[in-house]
Structures are given as C-alpha cells and as structure tokens.
Structure 1
Amino acid sequence: MTSTPMTITWDEAGETRSALWHSSNGAPAPRRIVVADDTLTAQDAYKLATGGTAMLWRGDYHNARQLLGAMARRVPDPAKAKRGAAPATVAQDFYRYRQGRTHRARILSMLLVPVDPGPVVALRRAPDVTVAWLNAFGPVAEPVLVSLQELLGAIGAQQWRTTGLHIDALDAKIHPHYGTFAPVRGEYLNLVAQADLHGADTAFDIGTGTGVLAAILARRGIKHVIATDSQARAIACATELFQTLALDGRATAIEQDMFPAGRAQLVVCNPPWLPGTPQTLLDYAVYDPKSTMLRAFLAGLPDHLNDGGEGWLIISDLAERLGLRTREELLGWIADAGLEVVGRADTVPTHGRAADADDPFHAARSAEITSLWKLRAT
C-alpha cells in the first residue's frame, strides 16, 4: 500500500520550502509543520504532536531517537487506560485497546526527518540507510519527508531480512522483506508440515506472504505449487525464497488477488485471523476487514478444487475468544459455500505473548487454539 506522492510545504529560515511526503502506510501528510532541533523538550514535542503539529527535525539523529522514546513514554498506555473504564465486553475492550494503539502511532508519526536523493538522511550522525530504504521504499529522486518511526521500521526490517528467521518446518532460514509478515509462530507452520497430503501433486497457496507455506508444500513433494498474493513485495519475497531453496522448479509466485486460474488438488489459505481495519502494511497479515478474505476464500474454494481435492484453512480461534467472530458464523460460511469439514488438526500457541500474564488479553491468548480445517466440496 503506497500513497500518491504529494508535495508538502513549510516555513523555514524566512522562506517557504517543500518536499515530497512519504508514507508507505498511506498516512495523510501533516497539515502543520514546524522546524525543531536539539533544544526541543520532550514535553513540548508531545504537546505539538497531540495538537496535530508535526516537527521537522534538524538536530542530531541520535537525539531525535531519544526524543521519540521520551514522547512514547508520555502516551497513555491503552492497556492501563481501559482498567478504569466502564464495564465492557472483551470485544469492546479490544476495540478500545486498538484505538489507543492507533492514537499512539499517530502521535509518534509527528516527528519527521528529511531524506535526500541517495538516499541519505540529512541529519548529523545519521546512519547509512541506503540499503534499508531502497529495499523498503525504492529510489529517492528528490527530497522527501518521512516520519522517524517509519524510517526506524525500515531499518528494523532490513535487520530481519539480513539476519533471517529459521523455520523448523523447512529446516532453513527465510528472509522476510519489508512489509511482509514474518512467520514467527511456528505452530501453524507445523500443522501444514504434518498434515496428510493424500498424494496431491498440485497446490495453490492463497495470500502467500513470504511464501513459507508454499515452500513447505513443495519441500514435502508437491510437484507444482502456485502461490498468490496481491502485494508485489510479497511476490518478490516468495520468489526469492523459492530460488534460495532451489524450489523454483516446483513453486511459482504470481501477483494475483486470491485464486489463480484453474484448479488444484490442494488449496491452502492462512488468512488474517482477526476482523478489523489494518493501519499499517504488517496489519494486513493480522486484520481482515469484516472477514472479507476469509469469506472470499471459502466462497471461491469449490470452483478451484479438483474432484476429491481438499482445501486447508489455517486459522486461530482468537477472534472467537475476543468476541469478534463466532464459531457459528465460521461454520455457516463454510456450509453456505457448499463445503463440508472432513477433518481438523489443532495446536496450542508456543509464542511468548501466550505466556505473558501482563498482556491485557492474556486469558484469550493463553487459551487460543490454531486449527487446520480440512474442507471438501459437497
């Protein structure tokens, strides 16, 4: 998701200056910008940000990072803020929590840094961001302004990409690209790695992301796997993974919204698990507005399965435990699509948040079950 490039202006040193606004999340450009430097206090910065005024940083880069941290400490913790609120359902609590997180992100996005062609961050003691920026956003042809928060996200993503993430189900590392969700939860990968393939030799992986599920299927012996995703950055990531693992003769990634043409013996989908509105690129791997992708997968599945073929829906029941969706709704969508459940494999979470008693939704997360639903056309 990228925003249409637009020019923003501000007053500095007695003249009007301009640059392109950059936001990979499609965030609107700030309406008011003031120039700030190392003399700005955290309290004043927080007041400006909460009032809707962005600060274009002209001081030391490391001081800007410290200021951002100090601003973050002043933002009310949404987990604590809800404790004094009126009694609510778990779903209402979760909605309030997300509102708080969105508010926090908006406040922190008000600290801006200049990036010149190169790309180079035009600040004292700024790091070399060339590789991180190019991999995340592409070339810079003219000066741009970007939130420091987003720049730090690109730098962190490059570290992930360089270091890689070991996937036990592949016995190999993957290298997630910026904006492509890293599969840090191995339990759902193991479900796909262990489920009976019933001799399938063709498979579709819908919404492939990094391509990890398609790679697992190809590694297990499926001869032809087509992986689809609507995001070009995901296709580039998946293609790179297939080439690195020498699976490009078996697995192919194509830019496509949902299903490719034709049918397969096995069709796999791991849609976003929670109904909700995405706010960032990574949110698209977590939040599915009105369960749109989940419902589209179920509705389209019968037309893309070979006779006797199976669809595998990999999804957590966290949405049900948070009161965002019911099991009856899910089963109703399966039946309405002309599908029947022929099997299910369950697993419990092993990630750190499930054991974090300080998480405001610990009860739901600790009881969460992730399932691989096996579906066939009736």
Structure 2
Amino acid sequence: MHSKNPASAALSGSTPPLIHWEEDGESRSAHWRSESGNPPPKRVVPGDDQMTADSAYRLACEGTAILWRGDFQNARQLLQAIARRIDNKPRKAKKAAKHADAPAPSPVDVFNLHRLAQSQRARTLAMILLPLDEQYAIPLRRAPVVRDACEEAYGAPDGSAVVSLREVLGLIGAHEWRKKGVEIPALGARIHPYYGVFSPVRGEYIQLVANQPLPSTQLAFDIGTGTGVLAALLAQRGVERVVATDIDARALACARENIARLALGKQVEVIEADLFPDGRAPLVVCNPPWLPARPNSAIEHAIYDPESRMLRGFLNGLAAHLTPGGEGWLILSDFAEHLGLRTRAQLQEWIDAAGLKVDGKLDVKPQHPRAADKTDALYAARSKEVTSLWRLVAR
C-alpha cells in the first residue's frame, strides 16, 4: 500500500505546540509531539510506580493524561494493563446485546462502530506520556535509547518534549522495521519502510504486478510510490525507465533510499508530484488506499482515502497520461464493497465516466492473518476480500 499522508510537523518545519502541566508546585511546559496531529491533553498529572492500573485507567478514560516519572518498563506494563481493560469491556456489551431484540447491524454500521472503538481505544492509550530531553533521551530508569528512532520520525532535536508512550513504542518498532527491512519474494530483496510510510507486508498485490504481462518495457509511471516497491519491481522486470511519484516527504525519501539500495537509480526516478508526472507512458500503475473513510493517523493515509479522492483522481487523469494502446494497472481491494462503503457499480461508473474500459482483471485472495481471524470485528467482510489488478485502457 502506498503512502499519501502529508508531511509531519518536523519535516514541514512547523513548530510543535506546547503542553502545560503543574508539578511540584510549579507551572511547566514542553513541546508536544503527536504524529496523529492530536492536540496536547488539557489535563496532565504526574504519575510513578505507585500508581495502580485501575487509577491510571480511570484517569485516562476521563481524558486526564499521566506524565510518567517512574520506571520505563513499569510504564509499558501499565499501558498493557490499560489495554486489557479496554479490550475486555466490549465483551460485556456484546453479551448484553445478544439478549436485546434488535436487528443485526449493517456492514457499514459494524465498520463505523469498529472505527469508533479503535479511535477511542487509541485516545485512551495515548494518555500515558513520557518526557524527552533536548537530545531525545528518556530520563527514566530502564528506558531504551530512542534517539535514532525519534530523529527518523521527528527530525533533529529541538528542545525538550512530551510524547505518548504508545507513540514512542511505535517509533521503536518502525526503527527496527527500517533497519531489518521487509522481505519481498517477488523482488528477491528487502524493502526498508520509513516511519509513517506503509510497509509492503501484504504481498498479494505485489505478486499481481509481478505476474501481469508488461505492455511495454520502455516507460512506466508508478503513482503514489510509497516505499518504491512497485517501481523497483517494474525496473527489475526490465522496464527501462520508471517515474515514481508521491506527495509525502517521508515516502519520497524512503523510495529514493530503497531504489538506491537496490542499485536501480539509473532506471527509476522518484519525483514529488500530486498523482501524475508530466507526459504519457505505455504503463501507468497505481495502488491507492482502498477504503473511502477519514484517516485518524499519519500511517492510515495509506489505507483510508476520504471520498475516494485519490482513486477518482487516478481514474479521471489516466487516459490523458497513457500513450496510444497503453495500459493503466489499478491495484485495488474490494474490501470497501463488502463493508458497504462503495459498490462495484459505482467503481464501474467512475471507470466509464473517465473514458476508460476494463481490458482484463487478475484476482488474488489476501493471505494476511486477519482474513482468517473469526474474532475480528470485520471478519465477515475480510473473509470475502479479493485484491485485483484492473487492466484499464482508454476508450
């Protein structure tokens, strides 16, 4: 999946907002960092190893953040304890609902309730805060070294800051993914995703591009390149020149680094562009976000496409960027259709209105674990999901 999220505050050069709190009878403040763009909590209290999970959970549910001053590993355990309390709560509601004489919710209702629960869960878990000093060190006992992870996400240090523990754990995980990389069998190599750029862990869409016969090996455009994985694959398949585009600063840097790692710089050019580069190509590839909904965080811009703007933008501009006889490859999951967020007829109407026609389609069933997890709230839709490569040509 490709990254479409706007650049972070650090990368765009804007100054982070301030968070204020009272501690030891003094008014204090620091920069507030939130990759999701959440405002700083209005109520903040210090917390340490004496605080119980029940107390922390109650405060977090009330919207009071806890600035941790105790042991780092104890803070992690506290976060896990709060998560367990959140996750156990819906089970009681479901049990009560079984006895209620109410019609079954629609797939859209299930999706919206799931998203709401996710948002509330994230907001509650974000209430455990950590201090960062001027060099991105966490001044707590048994704290890990997070400077490299913070610099990759935030840029150079700029004064002391406060950040949620959950975000710090995400930074650490992303840093490890970036170092280790993700093995891509179709490439026979690893792709190294940046923080905030969607990791190509769902390999089925990559395999679709690997299996589809190329209409030309002269030139291809990769629209919304993200990590650069599809641009690299096209180059490896023998396309002489690939122009890969994105609008996100992190995605552009990530794609350029991956292309350089793979020694494909002579074939692949990564440029900043809103969808299409100038000119026409015999092959234009796009893997847009697949769900028409509003993202709640930076990473979700690769999954959620409000009002299907990118999908429709790609379709509407495709014919004007294809050479005669050229093909557009739209890689898209039908998950939105099973959730009732978009219909197949609507997608076909957009294709028709853009002066395009479908010249073939290649399908694959997703293999990720959630597709087989019957406890997942969206299992009914996930179990039916198919990812397709639509071959589109101008009428």
TM-score by length of 1: 0.97
Do structure 1's residue 15 and structure 2's residue 26 form an aligned pair? yes
Alignment match, 2:77: 66
Q: Distance in 2 between matches of 1:159 and 1:24?
A: 18
Per chain length, whose mean CA-contact separation is higher, i.e. which structure has more relative contact order (CA < 8 Å, sep 6+)? 2
In the alignment, the residues of structure 2 paired with residue 247 and residue 68 of structure 1 have an alpha-carbon distance, to the nearest angstrom, of 43
- Find 1:46's aligned residue among 51, 57, 73: 57
Match of 2:224, as an amino acid?
G
What is the root-mean-square deviation in Å for CA atoms of aligned residues?
1.4
Distance 1:152 1:193 in 2: 34
Partner Cα distance (1:265, 1:348) in 2: 28
Deviation of 1:185 after TM superposition, in Å, equals: 1.2
Question: In structure 2, how many angstroms separate the alpha carbons of the residues matched to 1:77 and 1:369?
Answer: 31
Aligned to 2:3: none
**1:115 corresponds to 2:132:** yes
**SS of the counterpart of 2:252?**
helix
TM alignment of 1:107-186, pairs within 5 A: 107-186=124-203
8 Å contact from structure 2 (residues 194, 250) kept in 1: yes
The aligned amino acid for 2:164 is S
User: Given the alignment, which residue of 211, 216, 233 partners 2:250?
Assistant: 233
Aligned-partner residue type, residue 56 of structure 1: L
1:168-247 maps to which residues of 2 (within 5 A)? 168-247=185-264
2:394 alignment partner in structure 1: 377
How many correspondences in the alignment? Answer: 378
State the distance in 1 between where 2:367 and 2:30 align: 46
- 2:58 match: secondary structure: helix
Letter in 1 for 2:211: Q
Aligned-pair CA distance for 1:357? 2.1
Query: How do 1:353-368 residues align onto structure 2 when only pairs under 5 Å count?
Result: 353-368=370-385
Aligned residue identity for 1:190 = Q
Q: Which amino acid aligns with 1:311?
A: G
- Alignment partners' CA distance in 2, 1:117 and 1:233: 23
With normalisation by structure 2, the TM-score equals 0.93
For structure 2, the residue ranges without an aligned partner over 5 or more in a row are 1-6
Task: Name the residue aligned to 1:2.
Answer: 8
Give the whole-Å Cα distance in 2 for the aligned partners of 1:216 and 1:77. 43
Find the aligned partners of 1:252 and 1:281 in 2 and give their Cα distance: 25
Aligned to 1:254: 271
Q: CA deviation at 1:77?
A: 5.5
Matches of 2:87 and 2:207 in 1, distance apart?
38
Q: For the residues of structure 2 that align with 1:274 and 1:154, how far apart are their CA atoms?
A: 25
Separation in 2, partners of 1:317, 1:141: 44
Residue segments in structure 1 that go unaligned for 5+ positions in a row: none
Residue pair 1:119, 1:139 contacting (<8 A) in 2 also = no
Shift of 1:196: 1.1
Q: SS state of the match for residue 8, structure 1?
A: strand
Label 1:78 to 1:47 Cα distance change in 2 as closer, same or farther (>3 A).
closer
Give 1:348's aligned residue. 365
SS of equivalent residue, structure 1 residue 367? coil
**Structure 1 pair 41/349, CA: closer, same or farther in 2 (3 Å)?**
same
CA contact (8 A) 1:61 1:125 kept: yes
CA distance in 2, matches of 1:6, 1:184: 34
State whether residues 78 and 97 of structure 1, in contact with CA within 8 Å, keep that contact through their aligned partners in structure 2.
Answer: no
How far 1:142 sits from its partner (Å)?
A: 0.5
Q: Deviations over 1:288-309 (max 9, x none)?
A: 1111111111011111111111
Corresponding position of 1:31: 42
Q: CA deviation at 1:82?
A: 5.5
CA distance in structure 2 between the partners assigned to 1:214 and 1:151 by the alignment:
31
CA distance in 1, matches of 2:56, 2:38: 20
Partner of 2:331: 314
Say if 2:309 is the partner of 1:292.
yes
Partner deviation per Cα, 1:33-66 (whole Å, 9 max, x = no partner): 1111111111111111111111111111011101
- 2:114, 2:324 → 1: CA distance? 45
Amino acid of the residue matched to residue 345 of structure 1? L
CA distance in 2 between partners of 1:256 and 1:36 (Å)? 46
Paired residues of 1:78 and 1:101 also in contact (CA < 8 A): no
